[in-house]
Amino acid sequence: MAAPFPARQHLREVARLFLTLGLTAFGGPAAHIAMMREEVVRRRQWVSEQQFLDLLGAVNLIPGPNSTEMTIHLGFLRAGWLGLIVGGVCFIAPAMLIVMALAWVYVHFGTTPQATWLLYGVKPIIIAIIGQALVGLVRQAVKGPLTAGVGLVTLGLYMLGVHEIALLFAGGAVVMLWQNVRRWQSTGLASLALPLLNLAPAALLGTAVSLPLLFLTFLKIGAVLYGSGYVLLAFLRADFVLRLGWLTDQQLLDAVAIGQVTPGPVFTAATFIGFLVGSASGLGGVPGALWATLGIFLPSFLFVALSQPFIPRLRRSPWTSGLLDGVNIAALGLMAAVTWQLGGASLVDPLTILLALVALPLLLHWRVNATWLVLGGAVVGLLRAALL
């Protein structure tokens, strides 16, 4: 039998990798990106450390879920435009199906399944995975005292409560200006502003549920949202609780909780909300979930497709190369701050501390596949629950 075409083989590789990550990538964007780095830089060598860092900087400059946009970028680099679609869909689909199943349970039984036992063992492994990624990425991102200082200042300011988007753009601007102060031209700098379009029409409290309005509301959120899960919560509450009146505060918190305890992107909270809203209105839980998921993730595919051709040019330009360097190190400073915060919530007793300490050298020195460590952590959590 003839060997498969390289493009087809690469597409299968993209599908297998991101389906696996979609099923096992717990812990939020920082953990997802750490696991992707392990797979595509260290294990498979699809991209170099610098290319991966530049992609990380690029996704931090556009709205949307960073880890999902990384899968879309990486799928494109490995398998072209079809890989762009397949990578993103394969990362989103497992989480979407899991969340949809949990939403069905919620609608029919009025409760969210408990995942405490699972997360108890998985969270310490996630801390080790992020720590291992930080070690490698910082070595590449720190290019001198300037970038080292920007990273440390970003870390400190974030811990003091400064908004992460302001820190990202400030870090990029500082490094860009410092590196290019002698290249300053009298014409100044051109600026590019992304319009924040209000894609959903204004609506009054208590508006009747419709699938087009559900889709447009999530499309707007996906097109303008920067920041963490807390920012997502604010957007969802403003639209679905206050403006439209389709959810209660408790339902919204349950939706965000489900998005956080399931693998894959936190934005699959949209799937849960779509299922609830569709079921309550008689439009159907599954159609509501699918339209909501499509709405919130579609802008990410469009933003990546539009920005992909410009990333190599950003690195070649003296001005924008400095911008990328600054955003990269600022993003790693934020990643370190989030790791510290997650560590405080995850390493809660001697067993969880031991799990993290065992996992870190396995990742750094023996290069054990992070997926197996996550599954091992889940088994430890299950055994602990059984013994209590």
Nearest to 91 by CA among 74, 68, 62, 70: 68
Biggest CA–CA distance in the chain, Å, is 71
Tokens 């409560």 belong to residue = 161
Nearest to 272 by CA among 248, 295, 256, 249: 256
Mean pLDDT of residues grouped by 10 in the chain (388 residues)?
62 93 81 88 90 86 85 93 94 92 81 62 79 79 88 88 78 85 49 37 59 92 69 76 84 74 83 92 91 94 88 76 78 77 82 91 80 82 83
- Cα–Cα distances in Å, from 359 out to 172, 223, 376? 33, 37, 10
Ramachandran class of 17: left when φ > 0, alpha when ψ lies in -120 to 50, beta otherwise: alpha
User: What pTM value is reported for the model?
Assistant: 0.70
Query: Cα torsion at 11, 12, 14, 20 (round to 10°)?
Result: 160
pLDDT at residue 376, as a whole number: 86
Q: Is the dihedral of CA 165, 323, 319, 49 positive or negative?
A: negative
pLDDT at residue 219, as a whole number: 93
DSSP 317-372: SHHHHHHHHHHHHHHHHHHHHHHHHHHHHH--SHHHHHHHHHHHHHHHTS---HHH
How buried is residue 17: exposed, middle or buried, by Cβ count under 10 Å (0-12/13-18/19+)? Answer: buried
Cβ–Cβ < 8 Å for 271, 254: no
Tokens 């750490």 belong to residue = 34
Cβ–Cβ < 8 Å for 127, 356: yes
Distance between CA atoms of 40 and 186, rounded to whole angstroms? 42
Distance between CA atoms of 223 and 188, rounded to whole angstroms? 29
